[in-house]
Amino acid sequence: MRAAQAVGPDVGNVRIGSIDAVLATRHAGTRKLRLAYELVGPAGAPVVVVAGGISAHRHVAANAVDASSGWAEGLTGAGRAIDPSRQQLLAFDYVGACGGIDAPIDTADQADAVALLLDALGIDALQAFVGYSYGALVGLQLAARHPRRLHKLVAVSGAHRPHPYASAWRALQRKAVALGQLQCADEQGLSLARQFAMLSYRTPEEFGERFDAAPTLENGHVRVAAEDYLEAAGAKFVARIPATAWLRLSESIDLHQVDPTLIEVPTLVVAVEGDRLVPLSDAVGLVEGLGLNGRLRVLRSQYGHDAFLKETDRIDALLAAELGASGVRDAVPAIPHDFIGASV
Protein backbone atom coordinates (compact mmCIF):
# COMPACT_ATOMS: atom_id res chain seq x y z
CA MET A 1 0.00 0.00 0.00
CA ARG A 2 1.31 3.45 -0.86
CA ALA A 3 -0.13 6.92 -1.14
CA ALA A 4 0.61 10.31 -2.67
CA GLN A 5 -1.03 13.39 -1.28
CA ALA A 6 -2.71 16.26 -3.12
CA VAL A 7 -3.65 19.01 -0.73
CA GLY A 8 -6.40 21.43 -1.66
CA PRO A 9 -7.29 24.76 -0.10
CA ASP A 10 -6.19 25.42 3.48
CA VAL A 11 -8.36 28.19 4.84
CA GLY A 12 -9.31 28.82 8.43
CA ASN A 13 -7.99 25.51 9.71
CA VAL A 14 -9.78 23.64 6.93
CA ARG A 15 -7.86 21.32 4.64
CA ILE A 16 -9.79 19.67 1.81
CA GLY A 17 -7.73 17.30 -0.24
CA SER A 18 -7.26 13.86 -1.65
CA ILE A 19 -4.62 11.20 -1.81
CA ASP A 20 -3.88 8.81 -4.64
CA ALA A 21 -3.27 5.41 -3.20
CA VAL A 22 -2.81 1.81 -4.22
CA LEU A 23 -4.84 -0.57 -2.13
CA ALA A 24 -4.70 -4.36 -2.00
CA THR A 25 -8.38 -5.18 -1.57
CA ARG A 26 -9.79 -8.41 -0.24
CA HIS A 27 -12.08 -9.25 -3.15
CA ALA A 28 -11.30 -6.75 -5.94
CA GLY A 29 -7.55 -7.15 -6.49
CA THR A 30 -5.08 -4.28 -6.22
CA ARG A 31 -6.72 -0.98 -7.02
CA LYS A 32 -5.52 2.55 -7.65
CA LEU A 33 -7.87 4.90 -5.94
CA ARG A 34 -8.26 8.50 -4.90
CA LEU A 35 -9.34 9.10 -1.32
CA ALA A 36 -10.92 12.47 -0.65
CA TYR A 37 -10.96 13.94 2.83
CA GLU A 38 -11.68 17.01 4.90
CA LEU A 39 -9.57 17.87 7.91
CA VAL A 40 -10.94 20.69 10.04
CA GLY A 41 -9.30 22.09 13.16
CA PRO A 42 -6.08 23.56 14.52
CA ALA A 43 -2.89 21.88 13.33
CA GLY A 44 -1.36 19.85 16.11
CA ALA A 45 -4.62 19.25 17.96
CA PRO A 46 -5.76 15.67 18.58
CA VAL A 47 -7.41 14.09 15.54
CA VAL A 48 -10.83 12.46 15.62
CA VAL A 49 -12.21 10.60 12.63
CA VAL A 50 -15.97 10.80 12.17
CA ALA A 51 -17.41 8.20 9.80
CA GLY A 52 -21.08 7.75 8.98
CA GLY A 53 -23.44 5.50 7.05
CA ILE A 54 -22.80 4.23 3.52
CA SER A 55 -24.22 7.42 2.04
CA ALA A 56 -22.17 9.70 4.30
CA HIS A 57 -19.02 11.43 3.05
CA ARG A 58 -16.10 13.69 3.89
CA HIS A 59 -18.24 16.78 4.52
CA VAL A 60 -19.46 16.29 8.09
CA ALA A 61 -20.44 19.89 8.75
CA ALA A 62 -20.30 23.34 7.20
CA ASN A 63 -16.84 24.92 7.45
CA ALA A 64 -14.86 27.95 6.27
CA VAL A 65 -14.19 26.45 2.85
CA ASP A 66 -17.45 24.59 2.22
CA ALA A 67 -20.40 26.34 3.83
CA SER A 68 -22.94 23.75 2.68
CA SER A 69 -24.55 21.56 5.31
CA GLY A 70 -22.80 18.31 6.12
CA TRP A 71 -24.35 14.97 6.96
CA ALA A 72 -23.87 15.34 10.70
CA GLU A 73 -24.27 19.00 11.58
CA GLY A 74 -25.63 18.13 15.01
CA LEU A 75 -22.81 15.80 15.96
CA THR A 76 -19.88 18.23 15.86
CA GLY A 77 -19.27 21.92 16.43
CA ALA A 78 -18.81 24.54 19.11
CA GLY A 79 -19.67 23.14 22.52
CA ARG A 80 -19.93 19.59 21.24
CA ALA A 81 -17.68 16.75 22.38
CA ILE A 82 -16.18 16.85 18.89
CA ASP A 83 -15.36 20.53 18.45
CA PRO A 84 -13.12 21.61 15.55
CA SER A 85 -11.92 24.59 17.58
CA ARG A 86 -10.15 22.16 19.89
CA GLN A 87 -9.69 18.98 17.87
CA GLN A 88 -8.98 18.15 14.29
CA LEU A 89 -11.97 16.51 12.72
CA LEU A 90 -11.07 14.17 9.87
CA ALA A 91 -13.60 12.63 7.53
CA PHE A 92 -13.29 10.90 4.18
CA ASP A 93 -15.27 9.49 1.27
CA TYR A 94 -15.62 5.74 1.43
CA VAL A 95 -13.82 3.57 -1.07
CA GLY A 96 -16.35 2.98 -3.84
CA ALA A 97 -18.51 5.98 -2.94
CA CYS A 98 -17.94 7.52 -6.37
CA GLY A 99 -19.33 4.44 -8.10
CA GLY A 100 -16.00 3.75 -9.81
CA ILE A 101 -15.47 0.28 -8.36
CA ASP A 102 -17.90 -2.33 -9.63
CA ALA A 103 -16.51 -5.19 -7.55
CA PRO A 104 -16.99 -6.41 -4.00
CA ILE A 105 -15.68 -3.97 -1.43
CA ASP A 106 -14.94 -5.00 2.14
CA THR A 107 -15.00 -3.04 5.37
CA ALA A 108 -11.40 -4.24 5.80
CA ASP A 109 -10.55 -2.36 2.59
CA GLN A 110 -12.06 0.79 4.08
CA ALA A 111 -9.94 0.40 7.22
CA ASP A 112 -6.78 -0.12 5.17
CA ALA A 113 -7.65 3.02 3.23
CA VAL A 114 -7.98 4.95 6.48
CA ALA A 115 -4.50 3.77 7.48
CA LEU A 116 -3.14 5.01 4.13
CA LEU A 117 -4.85 8.33 4.65
CA LEU A 118 -3.33 8.70 8.12
CA ASP A 119 0.11 7.86 6.64
CA ALA A 120 -0.29 10.52 3.98
CA LEU A 121 -1.45 13.14 6.46
CA GLY A 122 1.33 12.33 8.91
CA ILE A 123 -1.11 11.33 11.62
CA ASP A 124 0.40 8.71 13.85
CA ALA A 125 -2.62 7.85 15.96
CA LEU A 126 -6.15 9.14 16.29
CA GLN A 127 -7.47 10.36 19.60
CA ALA A 128 -10.59 8.46 18.62
CA PHE A 129 -12.41 6.95 15.70
CA VAL A 130 -16.12 7.67 16.02
CA GLY A 131 -18.13 5.53 13.64
CA TYR A 132 -21.88 5.50 13.11
CA SER A 133 -23.61 2.63 11.31
CA TYR A 134 -21.23 1.65 8.46
CA GLY A 135 -18.61 3.87 10.09
CA ALA A 136 -18.77 1.65 13.17
CA LEU A 137 -17.96 -1.39 11.04
CA VAL A 138 -15.00 0.40 9.50
CA GLY A 139 -13.84 1.48 12.96
CA LEU A 140 -13.98 -2.09 14.22
CA GLN A 141 -11.87 -3.20 11.24
CA LEU A 142 -9.40 -0.38 11.88
CA ALA A 143 -9.10 -1.42 15.52
CA ALA A 144 -8.60 -5.06 14.53
CA ARG A 145 -6.16 -4.44 11.65
CA HIS A 146 -4.34 -1.25 12.66
CA PRO A 147 -4.61 -1.07 16.44
CA ARG A 148 -1.80 1.44 16.87
CA ARG A 149 -3.59 4.03 14.75
CA LEU A 150 -6.31 4.82 17.30
CA HIS A 151 -6.48 5.26 21.06
CA LYS A 152 -10.22 4.78 21.30
CA LEU A 153 -13.07 3.53 19.24
CA VAL A 154 -16.68 4.61 19.57
CA ALA A 155 -18.91 2.27 17.55
CA VAL A 156 -22.49 3.52 17.30
CA SER A 157 -25.21 1.32 15.77
CA GLY A 158 -22.83 -1.19 14.24
CA ALA A 159 -21.55 -4.60 15.27
CA HIS A 160 -18.96 -7.24 14.41
CA ARG A 161 -21.25 -9.00 11.95
CA PRO A 162 -24.33 -8.27 9.85
CA HIS A 163 -27.46 -9.81 11.32
CA PRO A 164 -28.89 -12.45 8.91
CA TYR A 165 -32.30 -10.76 8.85
CA ALA A 166 -30.74 -7.39 8.03
CA SER A 167 -28.65 -9.07 5.32
CA ALA A 168 -31.79 -10.53 3.79
CA TRP A 169 -33.38 -7.07 3.85
CA ARG A 170 -30.40 -5.56 2.04
CA ALA A 171 -30.24 -8.41 -0.47
CA LEU A 172 -33.85 -7.70 -1.46
CA GLN A 173 -33.05 -4.01 -1.85
CA ARG A 174 -30.27 -5.00 -4.24
CA LYS A 175 -32.78 -7.15 -6.13
CA ALA A 176 -34.99 -4.07 -6.53
CA VAL A 177 -32.09 -2.29 -8.23
CA ALA A 178 -31.48 -5.33 -10.43
CA LEU A 179 -35.17 -5.38 -11.37
CA GLY A 180 -34.97 -1.73 -12.38
CA GLN A 181 -31.79 -2.36 -14.37
CA LEU A 182 -33.51 -5.08 -16.40
CA GLN A 183 -34.86 -2.34 -18.64
CA CYS A 184 -33.07 0.88 -17.92
CA ALA A 185 -35.39 1.84 -15.06
CA ASP A 186 -32.31 2.18 -12.87
CA GLU A 187 -33.60 5.17 -10.99
CA GLN A 188 -36.91 3.56 -10.10
CA GLY A 189 -35.06 0.51 -8.83
CA LEU A 190 -32.65 2.47 -6.68
CA SER A 191 -35.47 4.63 -5.39
CA LEU A 192 -37.46 1.57 -4.37
CA ALA A 193 -34.39 0.08 -2.71
CA ARG A 194 -33.92 3.24 -0.70
CA GLN A 195 -37.57 3.29 0.29
CA PHE A 196 -37.32 -0.26 1.59
CA ALA A 197 -34.12 0.68 3.39
CA MET A 198 -35.92 3.56 5.10
CA LEU A 199 -38.21 1.04 6.76
CA SER A 200 -35.16 -0.63 8.26
CA TYR A 201 -33.64 2.67 9.39
CA ARG A 202 -36.77 3.78 11.22
CA THR A 203 -39.34 2.14 13.50
CA PRO A 204 -43.04 1.25 13.59
CA GLU A 205 -43.37 3.58 16.57
CA GLU A 206 -42.30 6.59 14.52
CA PHE A 207 -44.45 5.58 11.54
CA GLY A 208 -47.39 5.00 13.85
CA GLU A 209 -47.18 8.60 14.98
CA ARG A 210 -46.29 10.28 11.69
CA PHE A 211 -48.44 8.40 9.22
CA ASP A 212 -51.64 7.60 11.07
CA ALA A 213 -53.97 8.81 8.32
CA ALA A 214 -56.46 6.92 6.17
CA PRO A 215 -55.26 5.81 2.73
CA THR A 216 -56.54 7.56 -0.37
CA LEU A 217 -57.59 6.20 -3.74
CA GLU A 218 -55.55 7.57 -6.63
CA ASN A 219 -56.18 6.44 -10.20
CA GLY A 220 -58.06 3.49 -8.80
CA HIS A 221 -55.25 2.40 -6.53
CA VAL A 222 -54.67 2.64 -2.81
CA ARG A 223 -52.06 5.11 -1.63
CA VAL A 224 -51.05 4.98 2.03
CA ALA A 225 -50.00 7.88 4.20
CA ALA A 226 -46.25 7.14 4.25
CA GLU A 227 -45.83 7.00 0.48
CA ASP A 228 -45.15 10.71 -0.05
CA TYR A 229 -42.40 10.62 2.54
CA LEU A 230 -40.86 7.43 1.20
CA GLU A 231 -40.94 8.56 -2.42
CA ALA A 232 -39.28 11.84 -1.48
CA ALA A 233 -36.56 9.93 0.36
CA GLY A 234 -36.07 7.72 -2.68
CA ALA A 235 -35.85 10.63 -5.11
CA LYS A 236 -33.39 12.51 -2.92
CA PHE A 237 -31.19 9.45 -2.71
CA VAL A 238 -31.23 8.73 -6.44
CA ALA A 239 -30.10 12.29 -7.16
CA ARG A 240 -27.13 11.89 -4.85
CA ILE A 241 -25.80 8.32 -5.00
CA PRO A 242 -24.68 6.31 -8.05
CA ALA A 243 -26.38 2.90 -8.16
CA THR A 244 -23.05 1.07 -8.36
CA ALA A 245 -21.73 2.87 -5.29
CA TRP A 246 -24.80 1.99 -3.32
CA LEU A 247 -24.84 -1.63 -4.46
CA ARG A 248 -21.20 -2.24 -3.60
CA LEU A 249 -21.35 -0.50 -0.22
CA SER A 250 -24.56 -2.34 0.61
CA GLU A 251 -22.81 -5.60 -0.23
CA SER A 252 -19.84 -4.64 1.88
CA ILE A 253 -22.02 -4.53 4.98
CA ASP A 254 -22.94 -8.15 4.31
CA LEU A 255 -19.29 -9.12 3.78
CA HIS A 256 -18.32 -7.50 7.09
CA GLN A 257 -16.86 -9.81 9.74
CA VAL A 258 -14.60 -8.90 12.66
CA ASP A 259 -13.53 -11.15 15.50
CA PRO A 260 -14.00 -8.86 18.50
CA THR A 261 -11.74 -11.00 20.68
CA LEU A 262 -8.82 -9.78 18.53
CA ILE A 263 -9.54 -6.10 19.22
CA GLU A 264 -7.37 -4.53 21.92
CA VAL A 265 -8.42 -0.91 21.49
CA PRO A 266 -10.70 0.47 24.21
CA THR A 267 -14.12 0.51 22.60
CA LEU A 268 -17.42 2.09 23.54
CA VAL A 269 -20.30 0.37 21.83
CA VAL A 270 -23.50 2.42 21.60
CA ALA A 271 -26.62 0.49 20.67
CA VAL A 272 -30.19 1.59 20.17
CA GLU A 273 -33.00 -0.52 21.51
CA GLY A 274 -35.37 -1.14 18.62
CA ASP A 275 -32.71 -0.80 15.91
CA ARG A 276 -34.09 -3.07 13.16
CA LEU A 277 -30.73 -3.49 11.43
CA VAL A 278 -28.39 -3.99 14.37
CA PRO A 279 -30.32 -5.81 17.08
CA LEU A 280 -29.29 -5.18 20.66
CA SER A 281 -28.34 -8.85 20.94
CA ASP A 282 -25.56 -8.33 18.37
CA ALA A 283 -24.24 -5.29 20.23
CA VAL A 284 -24.16 -7.40 23.38
CA GLY A 285 -22.34 -10.14 21.47
CA LEU A 286 -19.78 -7.60 20.28
CA VAL A 287 -19.15 -6.27 23.78
CA GLU A 288 -18.86 -9.79 25.17
CA GLY A 289 -16.21 -10.50 22.57
CA LEU A 290 -14.34 -7.29 23.38
CA GLY A 291 -14.02 -8.41 26.99
CA LEU A 292 -12.28 -5.85 29.17
CA ASN A 293 -11.79 -3.55 26.18
CA GLY A 294 -15.50 -3.08 25.62
CA ARG A 295 -18.30 -1.19 27.26
CA LEU A 296 -21.92 -0.88 26.19
CA ARG A 297 -24.35 2.01 26.30
CA VAL A 298 -27.93 1.48 25.21
CA LEU A 299 -30.27 4.25 24.07
CA ARG A 300 -33.98 4.02 23.70
CA SER A 301 -35.13 5.92 20.64
CA GLN A 302 -38.12 5.76 18.34
CA TYR A 303 -35.71 6.54 15.51
CA GLY A 304 -34.15 3.08 15.61
CA HIS A 305 -31.06 2.72 13.46
CA ASP A 306 -31.20 6.41 12.50
CA ALA A 307 -31.06 7.56 16.13
CA PHE A 308 -27.51 8.86 15.65
CA LEU A 309 -28.81 11.39 13.14
CA LYS A 310 -31.77 12.44 15.28
CA GLU A 311 -30.73 12.10 18.93
CA THR A 312 -27.63 14.25 18.54
CA ASP A 313 -27.78 15.76 22.04
CA ARG A 314 -27.87 12.35 23.66
CA ILE A 315 -25.12 11.01 21.42
CA ASP A 316 -23.02 14.07 22.20
CA ALA A 317 -23.45 13.54 25.93
CA LEU A 318 -22.07 10.03 25.53
CA LEU A 319 -19.16 11.24 23.42
CA ALA A 320 -18.40 14.03 25.89
CA ALA A 321 -18.05 11.53 28.70
CA GLU A 322 -15.91 9.29 26.53
CA LEU A 323 -13.61 11.84 24.90
CA GLY A 324 -13.60 14.13 27.91
CA ALA A 325 -11.98 11.39 29.94
CA SER A 326 -8.90 11.69 27.75
CA GLY A 327 -8.43 15.31 28.74
CA VAL A 328 -9.72 17.15 25.71
CA ARG A 329 -12.67 18.58 27.56
CA ASP A 330 -12.45 20.36 30.85
CA ALA A 331 -15.63 19.02 32.31
CA VAL A 332 -17.43 15.75 31.82
CA PRO A 333 -21.17 16.34 31.72
CA ALA A 334 -23.38 13.90 33.53
CA ILE A 335 -24.97 11.23 31.39
CA PRO A 336 -28.75 11.71 31.34
CA HIS A 337 -30.45 8.89 33.14
CA ASP A 338 -32.44 7.85 30.10
CA PHE A 339 -29.37 6.02 28.94
CA ILE A 340 -29.38 2.46 30.09
CA GLY A 341 -25.79 1.87 31.04
CA ALA A 342 -24.55 -1.68 31.09
CA SER A 343 -21.12 -3.16 31.51
CA VAL A 344 -21.03 -6.53 29.86
Stretch that binds a second copy, among 6-14, 110-118, 133-141, 207-215 (CB under 8 A): 207-215
Catalytic residue among 106, 112, 275, 316: 275
Q: Does 204 bind a second copy (CB under 8 A)?
A: yes
For residue 47, count CB atoms less than 10 angstroms from its CB and return exposed for 0-12, middle for 13-18, buried for 19 or more.
buried
CA distance 217 to 224: 9
Residue 60 phi/psi, 5-degree rounding, is -75, -40
- Which residue lies nearer to a second copy by CB, 119 or 206? 206
Q: Which residues pair with 128 in a beta bridge?
A: 48
Q: How far is the CB of 250 from a second copy (least distance, A)?
A: 8
Q: How far is the CB of 56 from a second copy (least distance, A)?
A: 21
Give the residue among 45, 42, 35, 47 at the shortest CA–CA distance from 7.
35
State yes or no: is 252 an active-site residue: no
State yes or no: is 256 an active-site residue: no
Q: Are 1 and 23 in contact (CB under 8 A)?
A: yes
Q: Which residues pair with 153 in a beta bridge?
A: 129, 267
Residue 182 phi/psi, 5-degree rounding, is -55, -35
- Which residue lies nearer to a second copy by CB, 78 or 217? 217
The contacts of residue 282 (CB under 8 Å, 6+ apart) are 159, 160, 161, 163
CA distance 271 to 273: 7
Site for a second copy in 67-126 (CB under 8 A): 102-104
Site for a second copy in 138-157 (CB under 8 A): none
Give the residue among 316, 271, 306, 304 at the shortest CA–CA distance from 290.
271
Q: How far is the CB of 295 from a second copy (least distance, A)?
A: 24
Q: Does 254 bind a second copy (CB under 8 A)?
A: yes
- Which residue lies nearer to a second copy by CB, 242 or 324? 242
Q: How far is the CB of 125 from a second copy (least distance, A)?
A: 32
Q: How far is the CB of 222 from a second copy (least distance, A)?
A: 4
State yes or no: is 282 an active-site residue: no
Torsion of the alpha carbons at 300, 269, 55 and 102, rounded to the nearest 10: -140
User: Which listed residue (119, 169, 324, 332) binds a second copy by CB under 8 A?
Assistant: 169
Just list the catalytic residues.
133, 275, 305
Footprint on this chain of a second copy (rule: CB under 8 A): 27, 102-104, 163-172, 174-176, 179-180, 182-183, 185, 188-189, 192, 195-196, 199, 203-204, 207-208, 210-215, 217, 220-227, 230, 251, 254-255, 257, 276, 279, 281
